[in-house]
Structure 1
Amino acid sequence: MIDPTALNVGPTPTAPALVLRPWRVEDAAALVEVYRDPELRRWTQTPMECEDDGVTWVQVHEQDWAAGVRFGFAVLEAAHGSEPSPLVGNVVLKKVAPGKPSAEVGYWTAAQARGRSVAPRALEALTAWAFETFRPDGLELLELLHQVDNPASCRVAVKCGYEFDRTLPATPPAYPLDGHLHVRHAST
């Protein structure tokens, strides 16, 4: 089992520090609130209507982490004094297995945090962690997929060194449009 430690991302001149940590059941209410954003709902497939949906989503992430098949991190702004740490995103490493040379990454950013480099900073931290943790078991390549009509995800991928590889055909209903496949090698 992989130790669920937090990853810390330092502040920038225009954005606060970030903390990436495994999802917790107490995140459910904030998760449901973030999912009220129509733009986020456009890119995700999970229904999130009430706190029970959020709890179920988090519990699935906890089970996947314990099984070693999917590692999802809540992305939070670092706390300021006694203020709670707001949820600003999600990053995930999926389809990872010992001896398998590739895995997939994904992410989303909460509406209030867009345009503040949350996604690229969190993705860079996840990428470094994934290669550091799983390269000894054979991980050499990370894949990032997004629909062709999601230019923001394309910019994040390129900014983080995920090179465009090819266009993938649509596979409705889950992926109604063609997609881009970006890749990043452990050596880059």
Structure 2
Amino acid sequence: MDKIAIPLEAGSSGPASALSLRPWQPSDAPALIPLAQDAALRHWTSLDIHDESDAVRWIAEQERGWTTGTRLAFAVVTPQGQPLGHAVLKHPDAVAAEIGYWTAAAARGRGVASNALRTLTSWAFREYEALERLELIHQTDNAASCRVAEKCGYGLEGVLPARPPAYPLEGHLHVRGRG
């Protein structure tokens, strides 16, 4: 799978419209460390980065996903290349794939997550002909992610039971089909 950069789609205004998606790069490690220290991000995700070696390891994992084609992870970046978030497409060659995202504290409430999600959704359906369904899962108590999913056309399909340790709490399953 060739790594690509995707400009965020038109239709938004303000800071989010100037962002783009591109694969994570080793040079992003120093910028990733402070993003990962956000308490809310730690609560909602499994991101566990404390220092530069953790950041380098995490970015290497994202690069392996590109190599295998099983996990296409993108940094959501400013025109200057500063990461503000993350968007990921897991198992894109399947009929149903999983999509996810997170945003840095400074980027929340500015349309970054919804714009990145809409862009990655459109790109995934264009690039993967066999893909019919995208699934987005978040903890049931994450009201902001619920709003982003619904705003981007992902309908709530159901509640998933907790499955510790990976999923310690119940989750909402949102789905969007190709049509």
**Category of TM-score, reference length = shorter chain:** over 0.9
- Within a 5 Å distance, the mapping from 1:35-114 to structure 2 comes to 35-79=36-80, 85-97=81-93, 100-114=94-108
Letter in 1 for 2:152: C
Structure 1: stretches of 5+ with no match in the other structure: 80-84
Structure 2: stretches of 5+ with no match in the other structure: none
Letter in 2 for 1:89: G
Contact residue 36 and residue 47 of structure 2 kept, 8 A = no
Give TM-score, length-normalised by structure 1. Answer: 0.90
Distance 1:13 1:59, change over 3 A: same
| 1:28 CA displacement | 0.8
Q: How far apart are the structure 2 equivalents of 1:32 and 1:52?
A: 10
- Within a 5 Å distance, the mapping from 1:14-25 to structure 2 comes to 14-16=14-16, 17-25=18-26
RMSD, aligned α-carbons = 1.3
Q: How far apart are the structure 1 equivalents of 2:163 and 2:13?
A: 41
Identify the residue that residue 139 of structure 2 maps to in structure 1. Answer: 147
Matched, 1:30 2:31: yes
Q: How far apart are the structure 1 equivalents of 2:49 and 2:78?
A: 22
Q: Which has the larger radius of gyration?
A: 1
Matched, 1:132 2:121: no
Identity across aligned pairs (percent)? 50
Give TM-score, length-normalised by structure 2. Answer: 0.94
Q: What is the aligned counterpart of 2:110 among 112, 116, 119?
A: 116
| 1:45 CA displacement | 1.3
Identify the residue that residue 164 of structure 2 maps to in structure 1. Answer: 172
Distance 1:46 1:14, change over 3 A: closer
| 1:95 CA displacement | 2.5
Identify the residue that residue 82 of structure 1 maps to in structure 2. Answer: none
Letter in 2 for 1:166: G
Contact residue 11 and residue 18 of structure 1 kept, 8 A = no
Distance 1:60 1:126, change over 3 A: same
**Could you report, residue by residue, the CA deviation over 1:89-138 in whole angstroms, capped at 9, with x for unpaired residues?**
000000233xx210000100000010000000001110011111112xx1
**Could you report, residue by residue, the CA deviation over 1:51-109 in whole angstroms, capped at 9, with x for unpaired residues?**
11111111111111011111000001223xxxxx3211000000233xx2100001000
| 1:172 CA displacement | 1.7
Identify the residue that residue 8 of structure 1 maps to in structure 2. Answer: 7
